[in-house]
Amino acid sequence: MKTYIFLDIDGTLTKDISSWKKVHDEIGSREAAKLNHKQWIVDQDARNWVDNDLKILNGRGVTAKDVDTMLDIEHINYLFGAKSFVYMLQNLIEGLNIAEIHLISGAIYPYAKAVAKDLYIDPSNTHFHHLQYVNRYTAYIRDWKWEHDRTKTFKNKGEVVEQFKGRHNNVIAIGNGINDIDMFKKADIAIGVNIRKEDLKRILPHLDILFTSREGVFPHTLLDYLKGVMSI
């Protein structure tokens, strides 16, 4: 049996709980973002959530360079031990019969791409909300705006995970937030990492196991747990 591992980014591998929140805090649009988040909880369609967030960014003239600077994508703040966890997991691919390691995240696209590059994850094994900062000409006026390619994205993470489930496949999902619930529901093994208290009530019923560590640190015992589970 082959195992597919799906890793969330924000708050699971990085210290930033939400890269979107970081941008909204920088541009003073936190209240508008909160309303959008409440709407997402109602309709559960992450594509609409991204579209509405981009309206905020475009309305405030936020450029691609602005986002890169706000998120400091050249120096992403990972949880201590998170990068080494992924590297060690990659070294164990053959020994543990791991088919593929995937990143799946609603993190803002430039940030998510930078994490994939840092962790040497094959681009074909990444599942993000694809955004572009596109040059458009209207009445001979150049207009740069963020655009969202809905054809290359997902309604929820569970949609993606379900594609990899099968008679001879085992899917492990690792995450930390309420937008991981659909992924947890579909996975064969759902693992929570450093979940914040306000999310516990909604997430715990869907988890097989929860790992916690001190603030800013990735739980080192998770790798041993995976070795035990996948060697059975």
Mapping DSSP onto H, E and C, the string for the chain reads CEEEEEECCCCCCECCCCHHHHHHHHHCCHHHHHHHHHHHHHHCCHHHHHHHHHHHHHHCCCCHHHHHHHHCCCCCCECECHHHHHHHHHHCCCCCCEEEEEEECCCCHHHHHHHHHHCCCCHHHEECCCEEEEEEEECCEEEEEEEECHHHCCCCHHHHHHHHCECCEEEEEEECCHHHHHHHHHCCEEEEECCCHHHHHHHHHHCCEEECCCCCECCCHHHHHHHHHHCC
What band does 224 get if pLDDT is binned at 50, 70 and 90?
A: very high
Closest CA to 209 of 231, 224, 104: 224
What residues pair up with 27 in beta bridges, in sequence order?
none
74-111 pLDDT, tens per residue?
A: 999 999 999 999 999 999 988 888 999 999 999 999 99
State the pLDDT at residue 138. Answer: 58
| Statement: the pTM of the whole predicted model exceeds 0.75 | yes
Characterize the bridge pairing of strands 189-193 and 98-104.
unpaired
CA-CA distance, 30 to 217, in Å (whole number)?
A: 27
Characterize the bridge pairing of strands 131-138 and 141-148.
antiparallel
169-209 pLDDT, tens per residue?
A: 899 999 998 889 999 999 999 999 988 777 777 888 889 99
- The arithmetic mean of pLDDT across residues 158-173, rounded, is 89
What band does 141 get if pLDDT is binned at 50, 70 and 90?
A: low
Q: Please, what CATH class does the domain formed by 2-16+77-230 belong to?
A: alpha beta
What band does 150 get if pLDDT is binned at 50, 70 and 90?
A: confident
- The arithmetic mean of pLDDT across residues 131-151, rounded, is 76
pLDDT over 80 (residue 120): yes
State the pLDDT at residue 37. Answer: 84
Average pLDDT of the residues of the chain: 89
Instruction: Note the Cα 177 to chain centre separation in Å.
Output: 10
What band does 136 get if pLDDT is binned at 50, 70 and 90?
A: low
**Encoding tokens for residue 182?**
């659909």
- The arithmetic mean of pLDDT across residues 27-32, rounded, is 92
